[in-house]
Amino acid sequence: MNDASETLLLIEDDASLRTLLQEELALDGYRMLAAANCAEGAAMALAESPDLIISDLRLPDGDGLDVLRKLQAEGRVVPFIIITAFGTVDQAVDALQAGADDFLTKPLSTEHLRLKVRRLLAHAALSLELARYRSASGEPANLGLVGESPAMDRLRQEIRQVARSEAAVLVNGESGTGKELVARAIHRESDRRDGPFIPVNCAGIPPELMESEFFGHAAGAFTGARQTRKGLFAEASGGTLLLDEIGEMPLALQAKLLRVLQEGRVKPVGAEREEPVDVRIVAATHVDLMEAVRQGDFREDLYYRLETLMLTVPPLRQRGDDVELLAMHFLRQSADRHKRGFLRLGEATLTTLADYPFPGNVRELASAMERAVTFCDGEVVQPEHLPARIRKRQASLPGLDRQSRLPAGVEGEPTASWPTLETLQQQYVRQVMERVEGNKRRAAQILGINRRTLYRWLEQRDDAP
Share of the chain above pLDDT 90, in %: 34
Sign of CA dihedral 102, 105, 110, 112: negative
- CA within 13 Å, CB half, 145: 32
Asked whether 185 and 144 are in contact (CB, 8 A), the reply is yes
| The predicted structure's pLDDT at residue 395 | 40
Whether residue 132 is predicted with pLDDT greater than 70 in this model: the reply is no
- How would residue 288 be classed by pLDDT, with cut points 50, 70 and 90? very high
Q: Which of 140-144, 401-405, 461-465 has the highest mean pLDDT?
A: 140-144
Give me the mean pLDDT over the 16-31 stretch: 88
In this prediction, residue 397 carries a pLDDT of: 37
Mean pLDDT for all residues in the chain = 82
Banded model confidence at residue 129, pLDDT cuts 50, 70, 90: low
pLDDT digits (tens, 9 = 90+) for 375-401: 988 888 888 899 988 987 634 434 444
Overall average pLDDT of the 172-190 stretch:
94
Q: Helix 38-48 vs helix 64-73: angle between axes, to the nearest 10 degrees? A: 40
154-179 pLDDT, tens digit each: 999 999 999 998 899 999 999 999 99
Q: What local confidence, expressed as pLDDT, does residue 399 receive?
A: 44
Band (pLDDT 50/70/90 cuts) for residue 72 is: confident
Nearest one of 30, 97, 85 to 56, comparing CA atoms = 85
Mean pLDDT of 99-105: 83
pLDDT value at 227 more than 50? yes
- Lowest mean pLDDT across 59-68, 70-79, 319-328: 70-79
pLDDT, tens digit (0-9, with 9 covering 90-100), for 343-371 = 888 878 888 898 888 999 999 999 999 99
Q: Is the pLDDT of residue 422 over 60?
A: yes
- Give residue-wise pLDDT tens across range 298-340: 999 999 999 889 999 999 999 988 998 899 899 988 988 888 8
